[in-house]
Amino acid sequence: MTADLFADQPSTLPARVVLAPGALLLRGFASTLENELIAALHQVTHAAPFRHMETPGGFRMSVAISNCGALGWVSDRRGYRYAPLDPLSQQPWPAMPEVFAALAASAAAQAGYRNFVPDAALVNRYALGAQVSLHQDRNEQDFRQPIVSISLGLPATFLFGGEQRSDKTRRIGLLHGDVAVWGGPSRLHYHGIVPLKAGVHPQLGAFRYNITLRKAG
């Protein structure tokens, strides 16, 4: 039956999902660029290897991170912030690959945010069990600027809440090639990622990667 043949195809999911006013999920928006994105991801993380940062509270983050662009998001006992140098190498972060910036600008435009020019791309790597607990993204200078988030590799469940940590959360599956654009009235909404389930992705193995692009400075 036709319905069964196509039941697992992303094309049966809605192409655009409004998560909240200002927050839009573009299903498969990165799919045609997957090879370029994966090559750029490997290039960046070869130059600035994944590492587990320490939280201000002294915990080791389960997600491994890297960055590229003029600014990189870092965490240590002093807090969360953007820094121009990789604390491991004391060198500038690798340049932002053109494919990251171009995809981010085009996704942002789809959601109505024009002229988005990211200066920071945080690369997250999730292994089995890695998670990000509910948080707000508030280390950037200008909350009028959106955030663009690209999902690659294994699927994950995204939690999306409201302005208060205690607000009810919605669960959304994020798949390889999905792009979320996030800003405006929901820019400071709480969100997180539930612990990654086991799996093997044909190109990316046992991991989920997320590239989050921002105009941080």
Site residues (vs ligand MD6, CB under 6 A): 124, 132, 137, 147, 149, 180, 182, 191, 193, 210, 212
Nearest CB to Fe ion, comparing residues 95 and 172:
172
Nearest CB to Fe ion, comparing residues 137 and 140:
137
CB 169 → ligand MD6: shortest distance, Å? 13
Nearest CB to ligand MD6, comparing residues 31 and 157:
157
Nearest CB to ligand MD6, comparing residues 27 and 191:
191
User: Do 145 and 208 touch, CB atoms closer than 8 A?
Assistant: no
- The CA radius of gyration of the chain, in Å to the nearest whole number, is 17
With CB atoms as reference, the residue minimizing the distance to Fe ion is 137
Choose among 103, 121, 132, 133: nearest CA to 37. Answer: 103
Residue 147 binding result from ligand MD6, Fe ion, none, given CB thresholds of 5 to 8 Å by partner type: ligand MD6
SS (H, E, C) 126-152: ECCCCCEEEECCCCCCCCCCCEEEEEE
- Contact positions vs Fe ion (CB under 5 A): 137
- Residues 55-73 as b or e (16 or more Cβ within 10 Å = b): eeeeeebbbbbbbbbbbbb
CB 214 → ligand MD6: shortest distance, Å? 8
Amino acid of residue 144: R
- Cα separation, 113 vs 183, whole angstroms: 8
CB 212 → Fe ion: shortest distance, Å? 7
Residue 30 binding result from ligand MD6, Fe ion, none, given CB thresholds of 5 to 8 Å by partner type: none
Nearest CB to ligand MD6, comparing residues 104 and 147:
147
User: Do 100 and 68 touch, CB atoms closer than 8 A?
Assistant: yes
- Cα separation, 153 vs 99, whole angstroms: 17
- Cα separation, 119 vs 40, whole angstroms: 16
Residue 179 binding result from ligand MD6, Fe ion, none, given CB thresholds of 5 to 8 Å by partner type: none
Residue 120 binding result from Fe ion, ligand MD6, none, given CB thresholds of 5 to 8 Å by partner type: none
